[in-house]
Amino acid sequence: MRCSLYHSGLPLVNPLHECSVNLERHVYDLAPKPTPVNSCAHRRSESGAAAGRCNAGALELVQKAGLSWVRQQVHWKEHQSADGQIAWGELDTIVAAAEARRVKLFLSVLQAPDWATGVSGVAGLPDRDHFDDYAAFLGALAQRYQGRVHAYQVWNEINLSAENGVQPFPSPDYYIELLDQAYDALKAADPKALVISTSLAPSDSTNPDLAVSDLQFFRALFADQRFWAHVDAVGVHVFGCANPPDTLWPAKPGPGLGWTTSREFYFRRVEDVRQAMVESGHGDRRIWITEFGWATANTTPGHEFGNQVSFQQQADYLVQAFTMGRREYSPWIAAMFVWNLNFAVTWQDAGDPLHQMAAYGILNGDWSPRPAYAALQRMPKP
């Protein structure tokens, strides 16, 4: 399970036993307020973070940072057996801890069990015969945690092979069928809970073994009215690589070495998603940035851009991005989650303190604050 923290704004993402602060996930008062399905999801922006180890200590740090939300990933495969039994223990603990600290919970639910995919060892999407089981699991969550979990996300980064159990990519129609059933089950159990669509990873990849274009997939979703009838807000992921938040290819490229000549490498990629929404006739709908952030020095191949970003730059970029969300992107961005709160703790414990997930964190591996945490704590909250 992965967890993200959200102060009305930014989340951090990790496994369920981990917690993300929407400083990826840092959430400001950008989060949407409950509204009917076809109306705007929020009127102001919230901030939050995604976190690993979403325990009492992590949630206390979220609260002290002034964040109002946390985003938690829930791996379906870890919580429900083939006979339908649900293991509630870990989830109950997280929900109670968040409630005690008045931090709102946003659950992102993914990774189907083997019995729902039909493929052993593959934790991707369920097959069509088990869409109703996924929906029923979400409905059970919403019923048990009515009024205590405030938003649910139907899957995560469905355009990445790694997020789909390395199976063939689902079609937009396949995802919409899953979303329709999930939405209906969630709203039947908790009408006030918000339903957020899968976030897509920013990608202009032409390698079908790795990813499909987020914009291509979004345009297909946006062209289908069933999609709009079954979401309260659109989930989006954007990462800046080594590029400051206000830069964008090609008019204002970033100063970094590499990772500059495609719009997928910029925080402002969200503007392209917004434009696709407007072109589809749905410019009145809202976006939740459920992950965003900047990595620092790390040793993970493919993430070398982080070696160009200092801890202080990471802090400055996160605050600047939040400011842009509130001032330039309001009201169409309703929430922002920072990626991430405390993955550095997880990866230090695993003996890999310079893993790229740790590099996105706003805490060090010993739980001490990085400049980014302090900056977000000082940041004015709406």
Longest dimension (CA), the chain: 56
Tens digit of each residue's pLDDT (9 = 90 or more) over 135-154: 999 999 999 999 999 999 99
What structural domains and CATH numbers belong to the chain?
3-378 (3.20.20.80)
pLDDT at 3 over 60: no
Tens digit of each residue's pLDDT (9 = 90 or more) over 198-221: 999 999 988 878 899 999 999 999
Q: What are 257's two structure tokens?
A: 């070495």
Tens digit of each residue's pLDDT (9 = 90 or more) over 87-116: 999 999 999 999 999 999 999 999 999 999
Query: How many other CB atoms are there within 10 angstroms of residue 148's CB atom?
Result: 15
The residues that bridge with 237 in the sheet, in sequence order, are 291
User: In angstroms, how far is CA 7 from the centroid of its own chain?
Assistant: 13
Question: Which range (3-7, 78-82, 127-131, 176-180) has the least confidence?
Answer: 3-7
Q: What are 331's two structure tokens?
A: 């009201």
**Residues 12, 338 contacting (CB under 8 angstroms):** yes
Between CA 327 and CA 379 the distance in angstroms is 14
pLDDT computed for residue 33 by the predictor? 33
User: pTM for the complete prediction?
Assistant: 0.90
Reduced to 3 states (helix: H, G, I; strand: E, B; else coil), residue 200 is strand
pLDDT at 13 over 90: no
Exposure class string for 314-325: b at 16+ Cβ within 10 A, else e: bbbbbbbbbebb
Handedness of CA 358, 364, 366, 367 (dihedral sign): negative
pLDDT band of 182, cuts 50, 70, 90: very high
Q: What are 304's two structure tokens?
A: 């070398």
**Residues 341, 362 contacting (CB under 8 angstroms):** yes
pLDDT computed for residue 190 by the predictor? 98
Q: What is the DSSP string of 329-350?
A: STTTEEEEEEE-SSHHHHHHHT
Span 118-143, average pLDDT: 94
Between CA 25 and CA 20 the distance in angstroms is 7
Between CA 239 and CA 303 the distance in angstroms is 11
